[in-house]
Amino acid sequence: MSDAYVALEDGRVVEARGRVPGRTRGELVFTTAYTGYEESLTDPSYEEQVLTFSYPLIGNYGVRDERFESDRVHPRAAVAREFTDEVVEWLADEGVPAVDHLDTRDLVTAIREGGAMKCGIAVGEGVTPEDAKAELAECKGMSEHMDIGAQVSVDASETYEPDADAPDVDAEVALIDCGAKGSIRSSLTERGATVHVLPYDTTSETVADLDPDVLFVSNGPGDPANFGAAQALVEEFVGEVPVAGICLGQQVVARALGGTTEKMDFGHRGVNQPVRDLDSGKVVMTTQNHGYTVGDPGPELDVTQVNVNDDTAEGLESDELGVLTRQYHPEANPGPHDSLGFFDDVLELVETDRARKLAASD
């Protein structure tokens, strides 16, 4: 059992039990999810962050790689009231520092009251509070990573064919990988779509050569302003090709169409975020993981869904332009299945666009 210290931006240093040694730094955030720790830890949207679990026991149903959303753990460190040994072994294999036996309720309260904050972590035999403070000092001197997409995106395009038992929808999706969860891709292939996963900095020429039926901007980490190439693709192809987006993707689409985005105090991270559809009045529970939100959607987009807790935009649409986005994660990994129909709606955009183009050619 090794020593561990977490130095917080508010001046405190919290002592903990070290589970995986190492020294690191990052933005301290929390998730309220009580299941889905494998999905959360492998979600690329947590890149460069330190993830605190508010649920007290993490690992009580083991670790299974079929639940992973990517090929590695993305947070720089993991914090919990208690980790099981199996999770610790996994994090150790990944080289990700981990601490437990501290008051995570206090950490969550601090973040909720003061906002997401930077932290430094030092874990290992003989470490001191000064070691954690040194990591924090390094973190405070860093600006937000402007090219974070390079850390989470594919290096070259990858194509995934429809599942063998999927319906024949004959749809080609260009998925701009800003840190895409694997379940977004699988949610489309199981519905019969062919998915071309493209790097976050894909050029318009590449997309034009592909001639997709849908341009789909994925989730991802950090500030949407850092994904200028994806924004440029939306600006160029919107109105010609249906456009969809999830999480960071919604923010990128909004910015491309004259909207604005802003950093939230502590974000939405969990599996129980209530979202109201403004047309039907229906409320669904959703999975979310984001620290930025759309402030003003701009003149081209209508807000169709809002968060019940704070009225932030959860859904944007434009029938005229063929745009459909969601701030939450409708693929429901982890989380409730209330909003899985989003992917059916995206593929319906294809049929609507084809009908429109056919009518225009007559």
Catalytic position from the list 38, 178, 247, 268: 247
How high is the pLDDT of residue 340?
85
Indicate whether 44 and 106 sit together in one domain: yes
User: Per the structure, how many domains does the chain have?
Assistant: 2
Indicate whether 220 and 256 sit together in one domain: yes
Residue 220, domain CATH:
3.40.50.880
Indicate whether 158 and 240 sit together in one domain: yes
Indicate whether 169 and 125 sit together in one domain: no
| 283 closest CA partner among 308, 314, 317, 316 | 308
How high is the pLDDT of residue 147?
87
Annotated active-site residue 145? The verdict is no
One digit per residue, pLDDT tens: the chain, 362 residues?
469 999 999 999 999 999 999 999 999 999 999 999 999 999 999 999 999 999 999 999 999 999 999 999 999 999 999 999 999 999 999 999 999 999 999 999 999 998 889 999 999 999 999 999 999 999 876 656 678 999 999 999 999 999 999 999 999 999 999 999 999 999 999 999 999 999 999 999 999 999 999 999 999 999 999 999 999 999 999 999 999 999 999 999 999 999 999 999 999 999 999 999 999 999 999 999 999 999 999 999 999 999 999 999 999 999 999 999 999 999 977 877 888 899 999 999 999 998 998 888 87
- Asked whether residue 61 is marked as a ligand-binding residue, the answer is no
- Asked whether residue 251 is marked as a ligand-binding residue, the answer is yes
How high is the pLDDT of residue 1?
47
- Asked whether residue 45 is marked as a ligand-binding residue, the answer is yes
How high is the pLDDT of residue 59?
97
Annotated active-site residue 262? The verdict is no
- Asked whether residue 258 is marked as a ligand-binding residue, the answer is no
Indicate whether 27 and 161 sit together in one domain: no
How high is the pLDDT of residue 141?
60
Indicate whether 173 and 28 sit together in one domain: no
Indicate whether 327 and 183 sit together in one domain: yes
Indicate whether 316 and 223 sit together in one domain: yes
Q: Which of 106, 140, 174 is the last residue of a domain?
A: 140
Q: Which of 119, 140, 161 is the last residue of a domain?
A: 140
Indicate whether 314 and 168 sit together in one domain: yes
Say what the pTM is: 0.96
- Asked whether residue 291 is marked as a ligand-binding residue, the answer is yes
How high is the pLDDT of residue 201?
97
The full 3-state SS of the chain, as one line of letters, equals CEEEEEEECCCCEEEEEEEECEEEEEEEEEECCCCCHHHHHCCHHHCCEEEEECCCEECCCCCCHHHCCCCCCCCCEEECCEECHHHHHHHHHHCCCEEECCCHHHHHHHHHHHCCEEEEEEECCCCCHHHHHHHHHHHHCCCCCCCCHHHHCCCCCEEECCCCCCCCCCEEEEEEECCCCHHHHHHHHCCCEEEEEEECCCCHHHHHHHCCCEEEECCCCCCHHHCHHHHHHHHHHECCECEEEECHHHHHHHHHCCCEEEEEEEEEEEEEEEEEECCCCCEEEEEEEEEEEEEECCCCCEEEEEECCCCCEEEEEECCCCEEEECCECCCCCCCCCCCCHHHHHHHHHHHHHHHHHHHHC
Indicate whether 313 and 224 sit together in one domain: yes
Indicate whether 166 and 309 sit together in one domain: yes
Q: Which of 88, 112, 140 is the last residue of a domain?
A: 140
Annotated active-site residue 119? The verdict is no
Residue 228 domain boundaries: 149-361
Residue 76, domain CATH:
3.50.30.20
Q: What is the residue type of 327?
A: Q
- Asked whether residue 222 is marked as a ligand-binding residue, the answer is yes
Indicate whether 206 and 92 sit together in one domain: no
